[in-house]
């Protein structure tokens, strides 16, 4: 009810569209979508954490920002090749312990002896608590885990599981440290790495059919993935950024970033590379792209960021002409202003 009223209030205030964020419940997101259609006000933005990209796209947003916060990639990449079933679980007792540990968090019972220091710090942070509360609320407890991949690493085991919750499914990735006397679990960011061409095609077809545009904002993800490098070789354009913003961008002043290792930064670089390649794959499949930025986050500098975005799109695989259209004719078409704007022609502004 609050979401529907917010949409009506924005319409009355003269807003051009509604922006949605990723901590909305599915019910709230769908209420916003329905009310937006009813009052004739487009909505756009993030994909909620508790929804799949497909579910969010079906609701008909005008555009999806930031590649859907990895949600689009989840639709196209997996841990197993297309049609391949998970191997038999070689250590079901370990899988059961992971399930028990995750459900304990969802029940607000954090066991410090179970979790690695980095994960423990994140789970105790405001962001971690909020994320766990959202997962618990929208997905419910884990009923079963299917081991998608288990492989040895230097200090233990990397375990990827498909979690079946009472209200949905989700992939999780863990590192189980076996170098000490007690097994410690490190909760890793999800990193599916096997492209499924069939799933990519279906996602592109859905985006096209629902007339949903995609705004990659590669500059944001690139700025974060290379932030440690940028601190060693500062961007000279930082002189144009407010000193307080420069201070916030420095990983040494951010507790959640100070603990990141070289392996963590390499992970973020791999993630960026996949996001950039996916933007090009979607474009090649006929999905319409828009150039976008996200001022002052992660070295996304006003006055420069749009040009950075176009350069990153070209580096990822678009031609210079295709990249330029994401900032000229494409946005004019998206806004319904292509008769007046977006290209150089007689009679256009």
Residue 33 has a pLDDT of 98
Q: Which residues are bridge partners to 164 per DSSP? A: 144, 169
Residue of 225, 231, 226 whose CA lies nearest to 247: 231
- To the nearest whole number, what is the mean pLDDT of the chain? 91
Contact 52, 71 (CB under 8 A): yes
Handedness of CA 135, 37, 211, 20 (dihedral sign): negative
| The two structure tokens encoding residue 1 | 């009810």
The rounded distance, in Å, linking the Cα atoms of 43 and 81 is: 35
Question: Please, what is the angle between helix 197-209 and helix 262-284, to 10°?
Answer: 60
3-state secondary structure of 328: coil
- Range 245-255 average pLDDT: 80
What is the spatial distance between Cα 166 and Cα 209, in angstroms, rounded to a whole number? 31
**Residues 47-88: tens digit of each pLDDT:** 998 899 999 999 999 999 999 988 999 899 988 887 888 999
Whole-number Å distance between alpha carbons of 324 and 290: 10
CA atoms of 128 and 126, how far apart (whole Å): 5
Angle 267-202-313 (CA atoms, 0-180°, nearest 5)?
A: 45
Asked whether 78 and 44 are in contact (CB, 8 A), the reply is: no
Whether the pLDDT of residue 15 is over 90: the answer is: yes
- Does position 238 have pLDDT exceeding 80, yes or no? yes
Total Cβ atoms within 10 A of residue 114: 19
**What values do phi and psi take at 277, rounded to 5?**
-65, -35
Confidence of residue 154 (pLDDT cuts 50, 70, 90): confident
Question: What's residue 245's pLDDT?
Answer: 85
Confidence of residue 324 (pLDDT cuts 50, 70, 90): very high
pLDDT value, residue 101: 94
Distances (CA, A) of 58 to 16, 34, 53, 206, 212: 21, 11, 9, 8, 9
Is the pLDDT assigned to residue 164 strictly greater than 90? yes
> Is the confidence at residue 257, as pLDDT, over 80?
no
Residue 182 above 80 pLDDT? Answer: no
Among 15-19, 114-118, 199-203, the least confident range: 114-118
């Amino acid at each position: 009810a609050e979401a529907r009223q917010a949409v009506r209030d924005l319409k009355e205030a003269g807003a051009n569209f509604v922006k949605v964020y990723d901590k909305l419940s599915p019910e709230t997101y769908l209420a916003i979508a329905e009310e937006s259609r009813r009052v004739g006000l487009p909505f756009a933005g993030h994909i909620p954490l508790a929804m799949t990209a497909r579910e969010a796209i079906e609701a008909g947003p005008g555009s999806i920002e930031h590649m859907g916060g990895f949600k689009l990639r989840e639709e196209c990449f997996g841990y197993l090749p297309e049609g391949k079933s998970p191997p038999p679980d070689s250590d079901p007792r370990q899988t059961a312990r992971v399930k028990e540990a995750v459900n304990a968090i969802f029940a607000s019972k954090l066991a410090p002896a179970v979790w690695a220091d980095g994960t423990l710090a994140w789970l105790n942070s405001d962001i971690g608590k909020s994320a766990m509360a959202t997962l618990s609320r929208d997905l419910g407890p884990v009923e079963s885990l299917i081991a998608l991949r288990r492989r040895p690493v230097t200090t233990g085991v990397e375990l990827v599981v498909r979690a079946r919750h009472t209200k949905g499914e989700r992939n999780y990735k863990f590192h189980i440290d076996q170098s000490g006397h007690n097994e410690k679990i490190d909760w890793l960011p999800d990193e599916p790495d096997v492209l499924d061409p069939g799933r990519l095609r279906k996602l592109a077809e859905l985006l096209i059919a629902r007339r949903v545009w995609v705004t990659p904002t590669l500059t944001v993800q690139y700025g974060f993935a290379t932030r440690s490098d940028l601190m060693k070789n500062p961007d000279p354009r930082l002189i144009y950024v407010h000193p307080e913003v420069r201070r916030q961008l420095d990983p040494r002043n951010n507790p959640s970033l100070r603990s990141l290792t070289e392996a963590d930064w390499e992970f973020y670089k791999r993630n960026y590379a996949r996001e950039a390649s996916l933007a090009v794959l979607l474009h090649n499949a006929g999905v319409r792209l828009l150039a976008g930025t996200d001022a002052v986050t992660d070295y996304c500098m006003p006055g420069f960021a749009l040009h950075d975005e176009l350069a990153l799109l070209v580096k990822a695989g678009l031609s210079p002409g295709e990249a330029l259209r994401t900032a000229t004719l494409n946005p004019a078409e998206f806004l319904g202003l292509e008769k007046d704007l977006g290209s150089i022609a007689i009679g256009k502004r």
